Chain A
Amino acid sequence: MNSVTPPAKLTPKDFATDQEVRWCPGCGDYAILKGVQKTLADIGARPEKTVFISGIGCAARFPYYMATYGFHTIHGRAPTFATGVKLANPDLDVWVVSGDGDALSIGGNHLIHMLRRNVNLQFLLFNNEIYGLTKGQYSPTSRAGTRSPSTPLGSVDNPISATQLALASGARFVARSIDNQIKHMPVVLARAHAHAGASFVEIFQNCIVYNDGVFNDFTAKDKVANQQIAVENGQPLLFGTNKQKGLYIQPAAFEIEVVTLGENGITEADVLVHDETNKVLATLLAGLQGPDFPVAIGVLYCDPAPSYEEGVQVVKDRAPSKTEGDLNALLRTGHTWQVDAKS
């Protein structure tokens, strides 16, 4: 008998392993783990078709806690392993999990190239603005002046914007969420999954041990309304306790301003409407920072283009012969000569 039973609907728990989770108590990574497990259940992911690939860092321990295929590789290189996996088997559903050091410092080059190639996978960057695993040194996203074991008097380097880097690298899907936004995150992750091509998601993650509260100025409960803006395609870019504030661009200026509805004759019609296919807007949104501006979360940019795997297939189809080559025959093409057996 060979009847096909539809796969049972899986719950978030079905995506959890029996391995003891080893992050520090209170680490933001726990919430992200829950969010991802919920997303996989929501989208009906098949564990045997799903692969989590990571580099090194606290964030990169992630695959051990997912009851899917998992590959914990080396520091910074996860995008390259993932690219190899997708080259070998484009049908696999690949998620890369990385930290700010892993993705933007040692692995910056690979991230750029994976994004510009548009490899069809989801890339999650857990940004805690610190090197967690190596005990708290400043990272490429740490703000200048960060005091850490390696910068006791404050760091000098300017931080990099992960989302702006992704956009500049040619990413066709760029989004943000926050570890404590347990409703928002699965929605963004599901969008990332639905997008064909490389989907880049930055998740602000609190490292309770080495960088506690670094995002409080926009993630604390009392800051959410006025220091965050959750963008949605086709919707006006409004925020504030009563959605009374909006983002506005003066005609002929390239700068975003915050305006208040009802002041200076401003109405909702004056407020910018989010267009996630507009890369200029996405880049501006990605650059917004407190205290003068809210931090933008949600899908900043989504404008699909053919994936790398599709491109590879297109090029393969250009090969002169469509049938599988006969290697024995190939070795015998060109100039050959026969040496006869001596009689």
Chain B
Amino acid sequence: MSTNTAFKNEAPNEAPRQSLDSAVVRFAGDSGDGMQVTGGQFTLSAALAGNNLATFPDFPAEIRAPVGTTFGVSSFQINFGSSVIKTSGDDFDLLVAMNPAALFVELKGLKQGGIIVVDKGSFSDRNLRKAGYEENPLENGTLDAYRLIQLDISQLTLDAVKEHGLSNKEALRCKNFWTLGYVYWMFAHKRKETIDFLRTKFAKRPDIAEANISALNAGHSLGETSEAADGFQGFAIPKSEDAAPGLYRTVMGSEALAWGLTAGAQLANLHMTFCSYPITPASSVLHQLSNMSEYNVSTFQAEDEIAAVCAAIGASYAGTLGVTSSSGPGIALKGEAIGLAIGIEIPLVVVNTQRAGPSTGLPTKTEQSDLYQAVYGRNADSPLVVLAARSPAHCFEVAVEAVRLATKYMTPVMVLSDGYIGNAAEPWLIPDINAIEPFPVTFRADPEGFHPFVRDEETLARAWAIPGTPELMHRIGGIEKDYDTGHISYDPSNHQKMTDTRAAKIKGIANDIPAQTIAAGPDGGSVAVVGWGSTYGSINRAVSNLLDQGKQVSHIHLTNIWPLPANLGELLAGFDKVLVPEMNTGQLLTILRSEYLVPAKGINKVNGQPFKIRELEQAITAEMEG
């Protein structure tokens, strides 16, 4: 259904809101239109309405792209509903387009029959041309397949904020909150939290805060007063009923990572020294932790990524938990130093918030293409532990586990996140840190029988003796050390022994991590779909849908990338086919094939967008039938 003007139909009034199980909304506008803030506020209101949700902020690489251009479009997608939400959604039900460029870029993702809310006031000839439209799509019938709600949001906003005496430019900046007010009405969300947010955010400019609040209220009341005329009553999405009881919040991946690292350091009874160099999309972890000095955290912005990792290693050497964080290009620079940390066997956590590459690639777009780099990307035989988070909230437990393994085994641990996980948000059942089993570190103090490479027989971890400890003075470094004395050794057979020991230590961790479980479907049979990282939601939903259709298929999702879980080989052997969807050209695929000699097949894409559920269903089905 399409209506060219929102309110002209004669319609019965007092109709109830239309009940939906879930909805996908995409806010799209110019970089300067505030779509990310709008999306963030909408996320909060959906969470407070008791919905499950998943979000996908999708913004351009340019800080301030020219106004009105297609490459300046910034979008925020949210999938929210009463049942389990696994992804930010494939196609959207509602597209909010603040200008022609946003409509041009995003229309292809809207469902047939979906709703478009546009700011008619921004569809000037000039803006249409900038977006690449030859004719005005609002007028030429090309949007007939959709339900078009066109409002002169620019003018309505100016009217709504008039009394606050802002300049025209400042007044127009309130457009996004006007729109948010309208969309709140559509889904019966409450405005209170957003009003509080605005008053805090603009505490120093109360006129701007109040103008935005007026805009928000005006957008909302336009919805209320227009409903009867149009017959469109808005939607109602019931509270989710399947959430486990407890206290919830929304959390972004970067927050969960920062908090998880902090929690891990506390559980290890260590101060954390976090050293980093800014890079998109990893910087948010640095920003988050820089604000947490009261939580036994120090942060250091180094002169480059090499300095950052080396300072972190120095900090571990001196008895704190050294952590460094970057994205692929920065991780590449850290490679040599990570090798040193492997050689001297020192705890270190390295976080890689992956982005599309090679080189600068697509810095704001997500990809999972640093798996080889994590597992293999250093000179020589230099094994370390690799863990991958599958969702924003999952970053917390992965970070805690990274600290546990790094300190228990005296090893670097690489944590893989990605741009999508880092920026996306989801509801989180807040854990009780006091309920997590602590793993306090004991530094070596006893000089009896000490040398720097004296090992724990079970874990093979060497003793951690820190400068300042009487009688334990020792020298370590990158030159190979004698297994029995810890002194420099050029003896070839000793090098063999030390190389074997380093490998055995990491391999042995397979017995100290959870056995691999099945995320959906039977634990053997015809097809296993094996994933890792942020593809979790899409794969899980796709496999669940196929299971509902009676297909025999299972989902296995790896958190422990290296070492792989001890039972994984056996598990995979129980399936006729193994499919590996990844946002790269087949990296886990190669590892599984080389480790287990399974004839696994890849489902791969690298277009900067997460997998769509439908896409995966089709690919899996094709493989099953093929």
Pick the most buried of A53, A81, A84, A336: most chain B CB atoms within 10 A of its CB: A84
Tell me whether A331 and B488 are in contact in the complex, defined as CB-CB below 8 angstroms, given that A87-B311, A323-B294, A339-B244 are known contacts: no
Map CB proximity to A onto B236-247 as digits: 1 under 8 Å, 0 otherwise: 000001011111
**A88 and B313 within 8 A (CB):** no
* Contact flags A79-111 to B (C-beta < 8 A → 1, else 0): 011111101110110000000000000000110
What are the interface flags for B453-482 relative to A under an 8 Å C-beta threshold, 1 for contact and 0 otherwise?
000000000000011111111111111000
> Do A336 and B249 touch (CB < 8 A)?
yes
B395, chain A: closest CB distance, angstroms: 13
- Shortest Cβ distance from residue B444 to the other chain A in the assembled complex, whole angstroms: 13
* Residues of chain A within 8 A of B314, CB atoms compared: 53, 71, 80-85, 87-88
- Chain B 264-286, CB-CB to A under 8 Å as 1, else 0, gives 00100001010100000000000
Binds A, one of B117-125, B315-323, B351-359: B315-323
| Contact in complex: B475, A84 (CB < 8 Å) | no
Could you tell me the distance between the alpha carbons of A81 and B434 in the complex, rounded to whole angstroms? 33
For residue A325, which residues in chain B have a CB less than 8 angstroms away from its CB?
292, 294-296
Q: Chain A nearest CB: distance from B596 CB in Å?
A: 35
**Which residues of the partner chain B approach A250 to less than 8 Å between Cβ atoms?**
none
Contact A84 B312 (CB under 8 A): yes
Decide if B406 is an interface residue (CB 8 Å cutoff).
no
Contact B320 A331 (CB under 8 A): no
Tell me the smallest distance from the CB of B12 to a CB of chain A, in Å: 35
Q: Which positions 285-312 of chain B face chain A at CB distance < 8 Å? A: 292-296, 298, 300, 302-304, 306-308, 310-312
Interface string of A319-343 (1 = CB under 8 A from B): 1011111011011101111111110
User: How many A-B residue contacts, CB cutoff 8 Å?
Assistant: 201
Interface residues of B in 208-260 (CB under 8 A from A): 241, 243-250, 259
Which residues from chain A contact B475 at a C-beta distance below 8 Å? 17, 19, 63-64, 66, 69-72
B318 near A80 (CB under 8 angstroms)?
no
CB pair A312 B471 closer than 8 Å: no
Is A143 interfacial (CB-CB < 8 Å)? no
| A83 pairs with B300, CB closer than 8 A | yes
Which parts of B468-504 form the interface with A (CB within 8 Å)?
Answer: 468-479, 487-488
A43-51, A196-204, A213-221, A281-289: which one contacts chain B?
Answer: A43-51
Cβ of B153 < 8 Å from any Cβ of A? no
Contacts of B318 in A (CB 8 A): 51, 84-85, 88-89, 92
- Contact A109:B245 (CB < 8 A) given known A49-B467, A87-B311, A327-B259: no
Contact A91 B468 (CB under 8 A): yes
* Least distance between B149 CB and chain A CB atoms (Å): 29
Answer yes or no: B263 CB below 8 A from chain A CBs. yes
CB distance from A270 to the nearest CB of B (A): 45
User: Do residues B467 and A339 form an inter-chain contact, with CB atoms below 8 A?
Assistant: no
Q: Which residues of chain B are near A266, meaning CB under 8 Å?
A: none
**Contact, CB under 8 Å: A332 / B247:** yes
Which residues of chain B are near A64, meaning CB under 8 Å? 475, 477, 488
Interchain CB contact (< 8 A) of A327 among B249, B295, B336, B429: B295
Task: Flag whether B519 is at the interface (Cβ < 8 A).
Answer: no
Q: Which of B530-585 contact A (CB under 8 A)?
A: none
Q: Does A113 contact B (CB under 8 A)?
A: yes
Q: How far is the CB of A97 from chain B (nearest CB, A)?
A: 12
Give A63 to B468 CA distance when docked, in angstroms: 16
Query: Does chain B have a CB within 8 A of A223?
Result: no
Asked if B430 is at the interface (CB within 8 A of a chain A CB), the reply is: yes
Q: Which of B311, B433, B477 contacts A83 (CB 8 A)?
A: B311
Interface of B is mostly: mixed
The answer to whether B249 and A70 have CB atoms under 8 Å apart is no
Residues of B within 8 A of A331 (CB): 249, 259, 430-431, 433
* Cβ distance A164 to chain B, nearest Cβ, rounded Å: 20
Shortest Cβ gap from A63 to chain B (Å): 5
Candidates A72, A74, A316, A334; contact of B310 at CB < 8 Å: A74
Closest CB in chain B relative to A232 CB, distance in Å: 34
From the candidates A72, A77, A316, A330, name the one contacting B477 in the complex (CB within 8 A).
A72
Contact A330 B293 (CB under 8 A): no
Q: Check A68 for interface membership: any CB of B closer than 8 A.
A: yes
Residues of B contacting A69 with CB < 8 Å?
Answer: 467, 473-475
State whether the Cβ of B446 lies closer than 8 Å to any Cβ in chain A: no
Q: Is B337 an interface residue (CB 8 A)?
A: yes
Inter-chain contact A113/B307, CB cutoff 8 Å: yes
Q: How far is the CA of A68 from the CA of B467 in the complex (A)?
A: 9
B10 contacts the other chain (CB 8 A): no
Bound-state Cα–Cα, A67 to B315, Å: 21
Nearest-neighbor residue (CB-CB) of B270 within chain A:
A88
Q: Which residues 131-161 of A have a CB within 8 angstroms of B?
A: none
Instruction: Tell me the A181-210 residues at the B interface (CB within 8 Å).
Output: none
A19-32 to B contact mask, C-beta < 8 Å, 1/0: 10000000000000
CA distance A51 to B474 in the complex (A): 10
Q: Is the interface of A mostly helix, strand, loop or mixed?
A: mixed
Q: Is the CB of A77 within 8 A of B306?
A: yes
Residue picked from B243, B247, B293, B475, most chain A C-beta under 10 Å: B475
Determine if B476 and A70 form an interchain contact, defined as CB atoms under 8 angstroms apart. Answer: yes
A120 to chain B, nearest CB (A): 14
Residues of B within 8 A of A334 (CB): 249
A335 touching B473 in the complex, CB below 8 Å, given contacts A84-B273, A330-B259: no
CA distance A325 to B433 in the complex (A): 13
What A residues does B302 contact at CB under 8 A?
80, 83, 113
Is A336 within 8 A of B247, CB to CB? yes
Chain A residues within an 8 Å CB radius of B469: 48
Once the chains bind, are B298 and A87 in contact (CB under 8 Å)?
A: yes
Cβ of A307 within 8 Å of any chain B Cβ, yes or no, is no
Q: Are B433 and A70 in contact (CB under 8 A)?
A: no
Distance to closest chain B CB from A294 (angstroms): 35
Q: Which residue of A lies closest to B43 (CB)?
A: A335
The complex places the Cα of A151 from the Cα of B471 at a distance, in Å, of 48
- Is A73 an interface residue, CB under 8 A from the partner? yes
Assuming A84-B317, A87-B273, A113-B307, is B293 touching A72 (CB within 8 A)?
no
CA–CA, A322 and B479, complex, Å: 43
Q: Which of B44-52, B98-106, B176-184 contacts its partner?
A: B44-52
Distance between Cα atoms of A53 and B273 in the complex (Å): 19
* Of B249, B310, B340, the contact of A335 (CB 8 Å cutoff): B249
Whether, in the assembled complex, B79 has its beta carbon less than 8 Å from a beta carbon of chain A, the answer is no
With both chains docked as a complex, state the minimum distance between the C-beta of A328 and any C-beta of chain B, in angstroms. Answer: 5
Task: Check B319 against A88 for contact (C-beta < 8 Å).
Answer: yes
A168–chain B nearest beta-carbon distance, Å? 16
Interface membership of chain A positions 299-331, coded 1 if the CB is closer than 8 angstroms to chain B and 0 otherwise: 000000000000010001001011111011011
A48 to B314, CA, bound (A): 17
Complex Cα distance A322/B468, Å?
A: 27
B437 at the interface (CB under 8 A from A): no
What A residues does B615 contact at CB under 8 A?
none
Q: B304's contact among A67, A70, A91, A109, by CB below 8 Å, is which?
A: A109
Query: Nearest B residue to A66 by beta-carbon distance?
Result: B475
Question: Is B407 interfacial (CB-CB < 8 Å)?
Answer: no
Given that A68-B473, A72-B475, A88-B315 are contacting pairs, would A319 and B47 also be in contact in the complex, using a CB cutoff of 8 Å? no
The reply on B262 being an interface residue by CB < 8 A is yes
Given contacts A113-B303, A335-B44, contact A330 B295 (CB under 8 A): yes
Assuming A92-B467, A325-B294, is B476 touching A81 (CB within 8 A)? Answer: no
Residues in chain A near residue B479, CB distance under 8 A: 72
Contact yes or no, A48 B467, CB < 8 A: yes
What 9 A-B pairs have minimum CB-CB distances, sorted nearest first? A84-B314, A72-B477, A84-B311, A70-B475, A88-B318, A325-B294, A80-B310, A81-B314, A341-B245
For the complex with contacts A17-B475, A77-B307, A84-B300, 4 further pairs of A-B residues with Cβ separation under 8 Å are A83-B300, A88-B298, A330-B295, A339-B429
Q: List 13 A-B contacts (CB under 8 A).
A: A48-B470, A69-B473, A74-B337, A77-B307, A80-B302, A80-B307, A84-B315, A85-B467, A87-B273, A112-B303, A319-B293, A331-B430, A339-B243
